[in-house]
Structure 1
Amino acid sequence: MTQIGEVALWVAFILALWGAVLGFAGGHRGRGDWVLSAERSVYAVFGLVAVSSAAIIAAFVGNQYGYKYVAGYSNRELSLFYKITGLWAGQTGSLVFWALLLAMFSSIAVFQNRRRNREFMPYVSGTLLVVLSFFLGVVLFASNPFQLMDFTPADGRGLNPQLQNYWMTIHPPTLYLGFTAFTVPFAFAVSALLSGRLDTRWITTTRRWTLLAWFFLTNGIIFGMMWAYVELGWGGYWFWDPVENASLLPWLTGTAFLHSVMIQEKRGMLKMWNVLLIVSTFLLSVFATFLTRSGLIESVHSFAQNLTISWIFLGFLSFLIVTSAALVWWRRDAFAPENRLESVLSREAAFLLNNLVFVAAMFTVMWGTMFPLISEGFTGQKISVGPPFFNRVNIPLGLFLLGLLGVGPVIAWRKATGRNLVRNFSTPVGAALVVGAVLWVTGVRNTYALLTFVLGSFTMTTIVVEFWKGTRARARIEGEGAVKAFVHLMQRNRRRYGGYVVHAGFVVMFMGFAGSAYDVEKQVALRPGESLSIASPFGHTYLLTYQAMSAYPATNMTKVIASVDVAKDGRPAGVLTAEKRSYRQREEVASEVGIRRAWNEDLYLILAGIDDANGVINGTNPRPIATFRVLVQPLVPWIWIGGLIMAIGTLVALWPGAEPARPVVARPKVVRVGRMADADAESELVEA
């Protein structure tokens, strides 16, 4: 099976190169038969890479430790689940998995457009196959998963303990789904540049692809935060680690693109900007893959093994940058805007400002991530850039974006009148001021936290008001009940109202982030029977009593578990357990935390140290002194709730729209929906 898998990789690489040449040549010469051959090559490459991936999984499941990749990431005691996920556990397999997902999305894109957008497809197929050729070439020539060892060991080294976690098994694949899905809109942008068709058609064609890629990338980032929170045992969810930052970079530009394309669709502006954004998003996706595998950075979840790959990726990135820049320069005359920005008080201006903030955040994160390497290259000293730098710059930018979320979707196009501003923003501003006053009176003094809640209240109120206005208008027009009118409103304009739901989730997440300003932490050494108390910012008091410690062997590891009784305000609140796990093959120790979750806060328990771990394991000291680190983290659950809301909103926007509703002009009754001061004010009636 493995021999078949390696042959399949070679054939896939040759077919990808052949198809890329035929795609571009067929588009240039108008040869439909060549283009058809290129498209069939896409399908064939997908099938061949799928066979190769299955062969790698079979090698893991079959304990074939003669292969270097299998021996490095598996052992006999590893569970079947983690053996299957070994496909993307390391650098070599993850590159094959990247190619597999890209080939799958490429096949879907080609199949979707087999009878439409034919003028784009030659160059789309060619571009997709060029990217596939690169990744397959890297696998074959620099990181072959079927490389044999000089001898066959009796057992493998095993999987990194930090990767033996549910969230880590779905975090990388979800990120890869986002990275690879962004290749499709990039390919259409390249095709639009080559063919000269730079109107909105390539944007509307790839709208759902962009949303799908953003959906996967967003969820992948959140899954990574969950993994860091429950697995690394440090009490946080984001540390501005280089690999974390790498996934954030394309998310920032991709989010900017999703907003800016609306300006081109509505007003015919920002044509070059949109091409540059989607090209940058794809380049940053490749850059993120490079950064994770280059070996140039230190990270808790870097896959780096082979520094040669870093130079190959840098060469490919350079080729993409130069080629994309040349294409944009070549077509620069085709980017003339159809309209101009008429006022800073307009939706166009708000979206443009939104874009600039996202791009500024991207450059900030990139600079902070790469600065240690730059400083080492010029001075010989690696100057570390930690969370304080990123927080100092990005928290203000994030707060600015939080406020813009409440302005951009409701302010008028072209130019907002005074009446439009009063009608749309008086209620949100009033709600924000009330929330700010209440929080100030109740003792909230942290500047960033207070601003987050005030701006979040402003934005959330605008969202609620928009839903209320649309639902009310539809209920009056159609004579429907509130619930039915709300559902039909969502069905009629899924993109707009799905976006509002995403914004609501973003607000909830930011409020969860703000809770970190009031984290409470204690670290203390206890003997069995001793207790510690810790107060919650919400007025509760937790009493934790260390009861006992036990050890027992488990598959692939030995567990040492501390049991702690929890009481909340004097009432029993369950038992928390915190663990130290000793993995036999790798001789590494990992922590497993205990978390008591509530709707408004987490009680977080870390077993920081044991005075005699060997005595516990050997049974000679069943009552050791244990050092516990205890945190009360307010509003952390809101982060995960906000992420779920964002996912739901994206799915609403992605869902195929209903058939166009019948016109309502023939209805006999006349409905008044307030005074229409300008054209934008009629939107609630029109959308309903």
Structure 2
Amino acid sequence: MTQIGEVALWIALLLSLWGAGLGFAGGRKGRGDWVLSAERSLYAVFGLLVVSCAAIISSFLRGEYQYRYVAGYSNRDLSLFYKITGLWAGQTGSLVFWAALLALFSAVAVLQNRRRNREFMPYVVGTLSTVIAFFLVVIITASNPFQLMEFVPADGRGLNPQLQNYWMTIHPPTLYLGFTAFTIPFAFAVSALLSGRLDTRWITTTRRWTLTAWFFLTNGIIFGMMWAYVELGWGGYWFWDPVENASLLPWLTGTAYLHSVMIQEKRGMLKMWNVLLILGTFLLSIFATFLTRSGLIESVHSFAQNLTISYIFLGFLTVLVIVSAVLVWWRRASFAPESRLESAVSREAAFLLNNLVFVAAMLSVLWGTIFPLVSEGFTGQTITLGPPFFNRVNLPLGLLLLALLGVGPVIAWRKATARNIRRNFALPVSIGVVTGVVLWIVGARNTYALLTFALGAFVMATIVIEFWKGTRARARIEGEGVAPAFIHLVGRNRRRYGGYLVHAGLVVTFMGFAGSAWDVEKQVAMSPGESLEMKSPFGHTYTLTYQAMSSYPATNMTKVVATVNVARNGERVGVLAPEKRSYKQREEVVSEVGIRRAWNEDLYLILAGVDDINAVVQGRNPRPIATFRVLINPLVPWIWTGGLIMSIGTLIALWPGAEPKNPAIVKQRVRVAKPSEAAEPELVEA
């Protein structure tokens, strides 16, 4: 099976090169038969890469330790679940998995457009085949999953203990789905540049692809935060780690693109900007892959250092940047806007400012991420910019973005009148101010947290009002109840109201981030029977009583578990059991935290140390002194809730919308809408 998998890689490489050549040549010469052959080669490449993935999984399941990749990431004691996920546990397998996902999306894109958008498809197929060919070259020449060992070990080294976690098994595939899905709009943008068709058609064709990529990338980032929170045992979810930052970079530009394309669709503006954004998003996805696999910057997330892969990725990234710049410059005359910015107080201006802030945040994160390489290159010393730098720069930008969430969707196109501003913002601004004042009165003094909640209340008010106005208008026109009117309202304009829901989820997530301003932390050594009291920012008191320590063997590891009773205001509410796990093959000890979750906070318990842990393991001392690190993390559950809301909103926006069929609604739209305030009247979206 593994031999078949390796042969499949070579054939896939040849076919992807064939598809790239025929795609570009067919587009240039107008040869439909060549283009058809290139499209069919993509189907074959996908099938071959599925065979290669199956071969890798088979080698894990069969324990074929003669292969270096299997020996490095599996052993006899590893559970079946983690053997299957071994496909993407390491650099080698993850590249094959990446290529397979890209081939899957490429095949789907070709299938979708087999009878439409034919003028784009030659260059789309050529671009997609070229990217797949690049990954296959990397796999075959520098990271072959079927490379044999010099000898056959009796057992493998096993999977990194920190990867033996549910969230880490779904975090990488979800990120890869996001990265690879962004390749489709990138390919259409390249095709638009090569063919000169730079109207909005390539944007509307790839709208759902962009939303799909954003959906997966957003969830991938959230899943990674969950993994860091429960597995790394430091009490947080984001540390501005280089690989964390690498996944954030394309998310920032991709989000900016999703907003700016609306200006081009509505007003014919920002044509070059949109092309640059989608090209940049794809380039940052490749950069993220390069950063994760090069090992040039130290990270808890990165794979082992491989300078050969570093050079290949860097060379490919350089070529992409040069080709993209040349294409944009070549077509610069085609980007003339169809209209101009008429006022700084308009939706166009708000979206443009939104884009500038997103790009500024991306540049700041990019600079902070690559600064160690820059400092080493110029001074010979590696200087790392830590969380203080990123927080100092990005917190103000985040607050500005939060404010724009409430302004952009409701302010009028072209030029907002005083009436428009009063009507849409008087109540939301009042709610935001009242929220800030109330929080100040009850004792909230952290400036950033206070502003986050005030701005969050402002944004949520604008969203609720928009939903209410549309629901009320539809209920009045159709004679429906509130609930059916609400459902039909969202169904008639899923893109808009799904977007509002995404904004609401982002507000909830921002508030979850702001909760860190009131974190409480203590570290204490206790003997069995001793207790510790922790005062929550919400007024109640936790009492943690250390009961005992136990040790027992488990699959692939030995566990040392502390039993800690938890009481809230004197009433027993549960037991936490933080652990130390010693893994046999890797001879590593890792911590597993205990978390008691509530709707507004997490009680987070880390077993930081154990006196004479060997005596505990050997059963000679079941009541050792233990050191615990205890944290109360306010509003962390809101982060995960906000992520769920964003996912639901994106799925609503992705679902195909239906045009209204009731003539009364169409007439009502025409009657109410005004040129200067087209988005203002409450009946517009009825």
Map residues 499-510 of structure 1 onto 2, 5 A cutoff.
499-510=499-510
What is the CA–CA distance in structure 2 between the aligned matches of 1:52 and 1:644, rounded to whole Å?
Answer: 34
- Give the secondary-structure state (helix, strand or coil) at the position aligned to 2:596: strand
**Map of 1:530 onto structure 2:** 530
- Root mean square deviation of aligned Cα: 1.4
**Aligned residue in 2 for 1:686:** 684
Tell me what 2:454 maps to.
454
Equivalent residue, structure 1, for 2:135: 135
Q: Aligned equivalents of 2:665 and 2:539: distance in 1?
A: 57
Q: Confirm or deny: 8 A CA contact 1:420 1:681 kept in the other structure.
A: no
State the shift of 1:612 in Å.
Answer: 1.2
**C-alpha contact (below 8 Å) 2:672/2:681 kept by paired residues:** no
> Is the CA contact (8 Å cut-off) linking 1:403 and 1:455 kept in structure 2?
yes
Counterparts of 1:194-205 in structure 2, within 5 Å, are 194-205=194-205
Partner Cα separation in structure 2 for residue 389 and residue 437 of structure 1: 29
Secondary structure at 1:480's aligned position in 2? coil
Partner of 2:577: helix, strand, or coil?
strand
The question of whether the paired residues in 2 share the 8 Å contact of 1:477 and 1:671 is answered with: no
Residue in 2 that maps onto 1:171 = 171
Gaps of 5+ in 1: none
- 1:536-564 Cα shifts (integer Å, max 9, x gaps): 00001000000010000000000000000
**In structure 2, what is the equivalent of residue 231 of structure 1?**
231
Residue 71 of structure 2: aligned partner:
71
**In 2, are the aligned partners of 1:673 and 1:685 still within 8 Å (CA)?**
no
Question: Take 2:632 and 2:264, find their aligned partners in 1: how far apart are those partners?
Answer: 47
> Aligned residue for 1:40?
40
Residues 193/561 of structure 1: CA separation in 2 closer, same or farther (3 Å cut):
same
Query: How far did 1:656 drift?
Result: 1.2
Describe the SS at the equivalent of 1:586.
coil
Q: Which amino acid aligns with 1:195?
A: S
Amino acid at match of 2:642: G
The CA distance in 2 between the partners of 1:586 and 1:563, in whole Å, is 26
Residue 114, structure 1, aligned to residue 114, structure 2: yes
Aligned runs of 1:370-449 on 2, under 5 Å? 370-449=370-449
CA–CA distance in structure 2, aligned partners of residues 555 and 277 of structure 1 = 48
Which SS does the other structure have where 1:664 is aligned?
helix
- 4+ aligned runs moved over 6 Å, structure 1: 670-677
Structure 1 window deviating more from structure 2 (295-304 vs 412-421): it is: 295-304
> C-alpha distance in 2, partners of 1:394/1:305?
30
Q: CA deviation at 1:303?
A: 1.2
> Partner of 1:315 in structure 2?
315
Distance 1:255 1:580 in 2: 40
Determine if contact 1:505/1:641 at 8 Å carries over to the other structure: yes
Deviation of the 1:48 alpha carbon: 0.2
Q: Distance in 1 between matches of 2:214 and 2:679?
A: 31
Inter-partner Cα distance in structure 2 for 1:665 and 1:618: 77
Aligned 8 A contact 2:477 2:665 in 1 = no
> TM-score, with normalisation over the residues of structure 2?
0.99
In the alignment, the residues of structure 1 paired with residue 308 and residue 70 of structure 2 have an alpha-carbon distance, to the nearest angstrom, of 21
Map of 2:653 onto structure 1: 653
Q: Structure 1 residue 605 and structure 2 residue 608: aligned?
A: no
The secondary structure found in structure 1 opposite 2:656 is coil
Give how far 1:304 is off: 2.7
Q: Deviations over 1:25-65 (max 9, x none)?
A: 00000000000000000000000000001000000000000
Q: CA separation in 2, counterparts of 1:14 and 1:663? A: 56
Counterparts of residues 307-346 of structure 1 (less than 5 Å): 307-346=307-346
Alignment partner, residue 356 of structure 2: 356
Give CA deviations for 1:168-202 in whole Å, capped at 9, x if unaligned.
Answer: 00000000000000000000000000000000000
- Aligned partners of 2:679 and 2:89: how far apart in 1? 53
For 1:563, what is the secondary structure of its paired residue? strand
CA 481–624 in structure 1, closer or farther in 2 if over 3 Å, else same: same
3-state SS in 2 of match to 1:551: strand
Letter in 2 for 1:423: R
Alignment of 1:141-160 (within 5 A): 141-160=141-160
- Give 1:467-482 correspondences, 5 Å limit: 467-482=467-482
- Report if the CA contact (8 A) 2:416-2:677 is conserved: no
Check 1:611–1:343 CA distance in 2 against 1; reply closer, same or farther (3 A cut).
same
Partners in 2 of 1:671 and 1:148 — Cα distance? 68
- Counterpart for residue 301 of structure 2: 301
Change (3 A) 1:16 1:457: same
Tell me how far 1:325 sits from its aligned partner: 0.5
8 Å Cα contact 1:78/1:555 also seen in 2: yes
Of all paired residues, the percent bearing the same amino acid is 79
Which residue is 1:252 aligned to? 252
Show the counterpart of 2:62. Answer: 62
**CA shift for structure 1 position 686:** 2.3
Corresponding residue pairs, total: 686
Counterpart AA for 1:687: E
More moved, 102-111 vs 671-680: 671-680
Task: Summarize the alignment of residues 571-610 of structure 1 with structure 2, pairs less than 5 Å apart.
Answer: 571-610=571-610
| Equivalence map 1:206-285=2 (5 Å) | 206-285=206-285
For the structure 1 residues 175 and 479, does the alpha-carbon distance in structure 2 shift closer, same or farther, using more than 3 Å as the test?
A: same
- Secondary structure at the residue paired with 2:407? coil
Q: Secondary structure at the match of 1:313?
A: helix
CA distance in 2 between partners of 1:147 and 1:665 (Å): 65
1:193 aligned partner: 193
**Partners of 1:181 and 1:213 within 8 A in 2:** yes
**Cα contact 2:413–2:679 (8 A) shared by 1:** no
Question: Aligned partners of 2:275, 2:535: CA distance in 1, in Å?
Answer: 52
The superposition leaves residues 94-114 of structure 1 with CA deviations (integer Å, 9 ceiling, x where unpaired) of: 100110000000000000000
Amino acid at match of 2:49: V
Distance 2:23 2:174 in 1: 29
1:241-260 deviations in Å (ceiling 9; x for gaps) = 00000000000000000000
CA shift in 2, pair 1:462/1:682, >3 Å: closer
Instruction: State the AA in 1 paired with 2:682.
Output: E
The separation in 1 between residues aligned to 2:464 and 2:225, in whole angstroms, is 28
User: How far, CA to CA, are the matches of 1:596 and 1:81 in structure 2?
Assistant: 26
The 3-state SS of whatever aligns with 1:149 is coil
Give the match's secondary structure for 1:301: coil
The alpha-carbon deviation at position 661 of structure 1 amounts to 2.5
Give the letter aligned to residue 181 of structure 1: A
Structure 1 residue 658, shift from structure 2 partner: 2.4
State the Cα distance separating 1:139 from its structure 2 match. 0.1
